[in-house]
Amino acid sequence: MKVVVLTGAGISAESGVSTFRDAGGLWEGHSVADVATPEGFERDPALVHAFYDARRAQLELVTPNPAHLALAELEETLGDDLLLVTQNVDDLHERAGSRRLVHMHGQLRSAWCTSCDGRCPWTAPLADGPPCPGCGAASLRPDIVWFGEVPRQMDRIEAALAAADLFVSIGTSGAVYPAAGFVQLARLWGAHTVELNLEPSQGTVWFRDARHGPASMLVPAWVAELTARRLSR
Ligand code: APR
Protein backbone atom coordinates (compact mmCIF):
# COMPACT_ATOMS: atom_id res chain seq x y z
CA MET A 1 0.00 0.00 0.00
CA LYS A 2 1.43 3.35 -1.07
CA VAL A 3 0.81 6.24 1.31
CA VAL A 4 1.39 10.00 1.08
CA VAL A 5 1.17 11.99 4.32
CA LEU A 6 0.95 15.80 4.24
CA THR A 7 1.68 17.68 7.46
CA GLY A 8 1.23 21.31 8.46
CA ALA A 9 1.84 23.54 11.45
CA GLY A 10 -0.78 21.71 13.57
CA ILE A 11 1.45 18.65 13.97
CA SER A 12 4.13 20.76 15.68
CA ALA A 13 1.69 22.84 17.78
CA GLU A 14 1.87 20.51 20.78
CA SER A 15 5.69 20.69 20.63
CA GLY A 16 5.36 24.44 21.23
CA VAL A 17 5.89 25.72 17.67
CA SER A 18 3.21 28.30 16.90
CA THR A 19 0.87 27.77 13.93
CA PHE A 20 0.24 30.44 11.29
CA ARG A 21 -3.45 31.15 11.28
CA ASP A 22 -4.73 30.43 14.78
CA ALA A 23 -4.10 33.93 16.16
CA GLY A 24 -6.14 36.08 13.81
CA GLY A 25 -3.88 35.67 10.80
CA LEU A 26 -0.78 36.86 12.64
CA TRP A 27 2.32 34.74 12.91
CA GLU A 28 4.08 35.56 16.21
CA GLY A 29 2.60 39.08 15.95
CA HIS A 30 3.67 39.75 12.34
CA SER A 31 1.63 39.86 9.17
CA VAL A 32 2.52 37.08 6.75
CA ALA A 33 3.07 39.73 4.03
CA ASP A 34 5.85 41.32 6.12
CA VAL A 35 7.79 38.17 7.02
CA ALA A 36 6.88 35.59 4.36
CA THR A 37 7.13 37.32 0.98
CA PRO A 38 10.12 38.35 -1.19
CA GLU A 39 8.69 41.91 -1.17
CA GLY A 40 8.70 41.97 2.64
CA PHE A 41 12.34 40.84 2.63
CA GLU A 42 13.30 43.52 0.12
CA ARG A 43 11.51 46.17 2.20
CA ASP A 44 12.97 45.23 5.56
CA PRO A 45 15.64 42.48 5.50
CA ALA A 46 16.60 43.15 9.13
CA LEU A 47 13.06 42.43 10.33
CA VAL A 48 12.80 39.24 8.26
CA HIS A 49 16.22 37.98 9.37
CA ALA A 50 15.41 38.70 13.02
CA PHE A 51 12.11 36.86 12.64
CA TYR A 52 13.62 33.68 11.15
CA ASP A 53 16.68 33.84 13.44
CA ALA A 54 14.24 33.71 16.38
CA ARG A 55 12.30 30.80 14.82
CA ARG A 56 15.60 28.94 14.17
CA ALA A 57 16.78 29.55 17.75
CA GLN A 58 13.42 28.30 19.07
CA LEU A 59 14.10 24.90 17.53
CA GLU A 60 16.68 24.31 20.28
CA LEU A 61 13.84 24.45 22.82
CA VAL A 62 11.31 22.11 21.22
CA THR A 63 11.18 18.35 20.76
CA PRO A 64 9.11 15.99 18.59
CA ASN A 65 5.74 14.95 20.02
CA PRO A 66 3.94 11.57 19.74
CA ALA A 67 2.51 12.51 16.33
CA HIS A 68 5.98 13.03 14.78
CA LEU A 69 7.19 9.80 16.43
CA ALA A 70 4.22 7.79 15.13
CA LEU A 71 4.94 8.91 11.54
CA ALA A 72 8.59 7.87 11.92
CA GLU A 73 7.37 4.44 13.11
CA LEU A 74 5.06 4.24 10.11
CA GLU A 75 8.05 4.81 7.85
CA GLU A 76 9.80 1.87 9.51
CA THR A 77 6.81 -0.29 8.56
CA LEU A 78 6.17 1.02 5.04
CA GLY A 79 9.68 1.98 3.90
CA ASP A 80 9.66 3.37 0.35
CA ASP A 81 5.86 3.03 0.19
CA LEU A 82 5.57 6.13 2.39
CA LEU A 83 6.32 9.69 1.35
CA LEU A 84 6.02 12.35 4.04
CA VAL A 85 5.46 15.84 2.62
CA THR A 86 5.65 18.65 5.14
CA GLN A 87 4.83 22.33 4.82
CA ASN A 88 6.71 22.86 8.07
CA VAL A 89 10.10 24.52 8.18
CA ASP A 90 11.03 23.01 11.56
CA ASP A 91 13.08 19.80 11.73
CA LEU A 92 10.89 17.85 14.14
CA HIS A 93 10.10 15.09 11.61
CA GLU A 94 13.82 14.46 11.06
CA ARG A 95 14.49 14.50 14.77
CA ALA A 96 11.69 11.96 15.28
CA GLY A 97 13.44 9.68 12.75
CA SER A 98 11.63 10.34 9.44
CA ARG A 99 13.93 10.12 6.39
CA ARG A 100 11.64 9.85 3.32
CA LEU A 101 10.63 13.45 3.67
CA VAL A 102 10.08 16.49 1.44
CA HIS A 103 10.17 20.01 2.96
CA MET A 104 8.02 21.64 0.28
CA HIS A 105 8.25 25.09 1.94
CA GLY A 106 11.97 24.91 2.78
CA GLN A 107 13.76 24.59 6.11
CA LEU A 108 14.85 26.89 8.96
CA ARG A 109 18.11 25.02 9.44
CA SER A 110 19.29 25.74 5.92
CA ALA A 111 20.54 28.94 4.25
CA TRP A 112 20.33 29.86 0.57
CA CYS A 113 22.87 32.08 -1.15
CA THR A 114 21.27 34.42 -3.67
CA SER A 115 24.71 35.05 -5.27
CA CYS A 116 25.85 31.48 -6.07
CA ASP A 117 22.45 29.72 -5.61
CA GLY A 118 24.09 27.26 -3.18
CA ARG A 119 22.38 25.88 -0.08
CA CYS A 120 24.07 24.91 3.17
CA PRO A 121 23.02 23.59 6.59
CA TRP A 122 22.67 26.59 8.94
CA THR A 123 22.00 26.81 12.67
CA ALA A 124 23.40 30.29 13.49
CA PRO A 125 21.74 33.71 12.98
CA LEU A 126 21.72 35.31 9.51
CA ALA A 127 21.00 38.90 10.62
CA ASP A 128 24.68 39.91 10.82
CA GLY A 129 25.27 38.99 7.13
CA PRO A 130 27.68 36.05 7.44
CA PRO A 131 29.61 35.01 4.28
CA CYS A 132 28.31 32.14 2.17
CA PRO A 133 30.57 29.09 2.81
CA GLY A 134 30.49 28.40 -0.94
CA CYS A 135 31.29 31.78 -2.57
CA GLY A 136 32.02 34.18 0.31
CA ALA A 137 29.28 36.69 -0.61
CA ALA A 138 27.18 38.13 2.22
CA SER A 139 24.03 37.07 0.36
CA LEU A 140 22.54 34.36 2.54
CA ARG A 141 18.78 34.37 3.11
CA PRO A 142 16.50 31.94 4.95
CA ASP A 143 15.94 28.82 2.81
CA ILE A 144 12.19 29.25 3.09
CA VAL A 145 9.62 29.23 0.27
CA TRP A 146 7.76 32.51 0.65
CA PHE A 147 4.41 33.43 -0.86
CA GLY A 148 4.86 33.92 -4.61
CA GLU A 149 7.80 31.45 -4.74
CA VAL A 150 7.71 27.91 -6.11
CA PRO A 151 7.41 25.02 -3.60
CA ARG A 152 10.16 22.38 -3.69
CA GLN A 153 10.09 18.97 -5.38
CA MET A 154 6.58 19.28 -6.84
CA ASP A 155 7.34 16.63 -9.51
CA ARG A 156 8.25 14.07 -6.86
CA ILE A 157 5.17 14.94 -4.79
CA GLU A 158 2.79 14.73 -7.75
CA ALA A 159 4.23 11.37 -8.83
CA ALA A 160 3.72 10.03 -5.29
CA LEU A 161 0.13 11.36 -5.20
CA ALA A 162 -0.63 9.72 -8.55
CA ALA A 163 0.61 6.36 -7.23
CA ALA A 164 -0.93 6.64 -3.74
CA ASP A 165 -3.60 4.29 -2.36
CA LEU A 166 -4.00 6.50 0.69
CA PHE A 167 -3.54 10.25 1.27
CA VAL A 168 -3.56 11.61 4.79
CA SER A 169 -3.51 15.31 5.73
CA ILE A 170 -2.46 16.22 9.28
CA GLY A 171 -2.57 19.58 11.08
CA THR A 172 -3.07 21.89 8.12
CA SER A 173 -5.76 24.51 7.60
CA GLY A 174 -6.08 23.81 3.86
CA ALA A 175 -5.68 27.52 3.16
CA VAL A 176 -2.49 27.50 1.09
CA TYR A 177 -2.10 26.04 -2.40
CA PRO A 178 -0.69 23.89 -3.92
CA ALA A 179 -0.72 21.75 -0.74
CA ALA A 180 -4.43 22.47 -0.16
CA GLY A 181 -5.19 20.88 -3.54
CA PHE A 182 -3.35 17.58 -2.91
CA VAL A 183 -6.51 15.96 -1.54
CA GLN A 184 -8.34 16.63 -4.81
CA LEU A 185 -5.45 15.26 -6.89
CA ALA A 186 -5.18 12.16 -4.71
CA ARG A 187 -8.93 11.51 -5.02
CA LEU A 188 -8.83 12.01 -8.76
CA TRP A 189 -6.10 9.37 -8.98
CA GLY A 190 -8.09 6.95 -6.82
CA ALA A 191 -6.64 7.24 -3.31
CA HIS A 192 -8.62 6.95 -0.09
CA THR A 193 -8.37 10.28 1.77
CA VAL A 194 -8.16 10.96 5.51
CA GLU A 195 -7.99 14.25 7.45
CA LEU A 196 -6.56 14.39 10.98
CA ASN A 197 -6.90 17.95 12.33
CA LEU A 198 -7.91 19.82 15.45
CA GLU A 199 -10.97 21.16 13.65
CA PRO A 200 -12.47 20.77 10.16
CA SER A 201 -10.01 22.29 7.65
CA GLN A 202 -11.11 24.53 4.78
CA GLY A 203 -10.98 21.46 2.52
CA THR A 204 -12.61 19.01 4.91
CA VAL A 205 -15.43 18.13 2.47
CA TRP A 206 -12.90 16.55 0.11
CA PHE A 207 -11.88 13.87 2.61
CA ARG A 208 -13.67 10.52 2.81
CA ASP A 209 -12.72 10.18 6.48
CA ALA A 210 -12.22 13.24 8.71
CA ARG A 211 -11.25 12.93 12.38
CA HIS A 212 -10.93 15.97 14.63
CA GLY A 213 -8.80 16.38 17.76
CA PRO A 214 -5.17 16.93 18.79
CA ALA A 215 -2.54 15.37 16.53
CA SER A 216 -0.70 13.80 19.49
CA MET A 217 -3.78 11.60 20.06
CA LEU A 218 -5.16 11.13 16.54
CA VAL A 219 -1.93 10.31 14.69
CA PRO A 220 -0.61 7.50 16.94
CA ALA A 221 -4.13 5.96 16.97
CA TRP A 222 -4.39 6.15 13.16
CA VAL A 223 -0.89 4.67 12.67
CA ALA A 224 -1.72 1.79 15.05
CA GLU A 225 -4.97 1.16 13.16
CA LEU A 226 -3.24 1.15 9.77
CA THR A 227 -0.44 -1.12 10.96
CA ALA A 228 -2.92 -3.59 12.52
CA ARG A 229 -4.99 -3.64 9.30
CA ARG A 230 -1.86 -4.32 7.27
CA LEU A 231 -0.77 -7.18 9.53
CA SER A 232 -4.21 -8.82 9.44
CA ARG A 233 -4.12 -9.17 5.64
N1 APR B 1 -3.44 18.97 16.41
C2 APR B 1 -3.93 18.96 15.14
N3 APR B 1 -4.20 20.07 14.44
C4 APR B 1 -3.94 21.26 15.03
C5 APR B 1 -3.41 21.36 16.33
C6 APR B 1 -3.17 20.15 17.04
N7 APR B 1 -2.68 20.13 18.27
N8 APR B 1 -3.27 22.68 16.64
C9 APR B 1 -3.69 23.37 15.57
N10 APR B 1 -4.10 22.52 14.60
C11 APR B 1 -4.65 22.83 13.28
C12 APR B 1 -5.43 24.13 13.23
O13 APR B 1 -6.77 23.87 13.54
C14 APR B 1 -5.25 24.52 11.76
O15 APR B 1 -6.28 23.98 10.95
O16 APR B 1 -3.54 23.01 12.42
C17 APR B 1 -3.91 23.89 11.37
C18 APR B 1 -2.78 24.88 11.20
O19 APR B 1 -3.06 25.69 10.10
P20 APR B 1 -2.10 26.87 9.65
O21 APR B 1 -1.67 27.65 10.85
O22 APR B 1 -2.77 27.58 8.53
O23 APR B 1 -0.78 26.11 9.13
P24 APR B 1 -0.52 25.38 7.74
O25 APR B 1 -1.77 24.80 7.18
O26 APR B 1 0.65 24.49 7.94
O27 APR B 1 -0.07 26.61 6.84
C28 APR B 1 0.32 26.35 5.51
O29 APR B 1 0.96 28.63 5.12
O30 APR B 1 1.95 30.54 6.00
C31 APR B 1 2.11 29.47 5.14
O32 APR B 1 4.10 28.53 4.38
C33 APR B 1 3.29 28.64 5.52
O34 APR B 1 3.55 26.24 5.51
C35 APR B 1 2.67 27.30 5.87
C36 APR B 1 1.40 27.29 5.04
Q: Catalytic pick from 93, 105, 192, 212?
A: 105
15 C-beta closer than 6 A to ligand 1: no
Q: Is the CB of 183 under 6 A from ligand 1?
A: no
Minimum mean pLDDT range among 14-18, 90-94, 186-190: 14-18
pLDDT at 25 over 60: no
Kindly report the CATH number that applies to the domain delimited by 18-61+108-144. Answer: 3.30.1600.10
Closest by CA to 66, choosing from 170, 169, 200, is 170
Q: Please give the average per-residue pLDDT across 11-40, as a whole number.
A: 83
Cβ of 201 below 6 Å from ligand 1: yes
Instruction: Tell me if 89 CB under 6 Å of ligand 1.
Output: no
Cα Rg of the chain (Å, integer): 18
The CA 137 to ligand 1 mean position distance, Å, reads 35
The domain defined by 3-17+64-105+153-231 carries CATH number 3.40.50.720: no
| Residue among 229, 221, 233, 232 nearest 73 (CA) | 221
| pLDDT number for residue 22 | 63
**45-74 tens-digit pLDDT:** 999 999 999 999 999 999 999 999 999 999
Catalytic: 49?
A: no
pLDDT tens digits, 72-122: 999 999 999 999 999 999 999 999 999 999 999 999 999 999 999 999 999
Cα-flanking dihedrals φ and ψ of residue 141, to 5°?
-130, 165
Domain boundaries, the chain: 3-17+64-105+153-231, 18-61+108-144
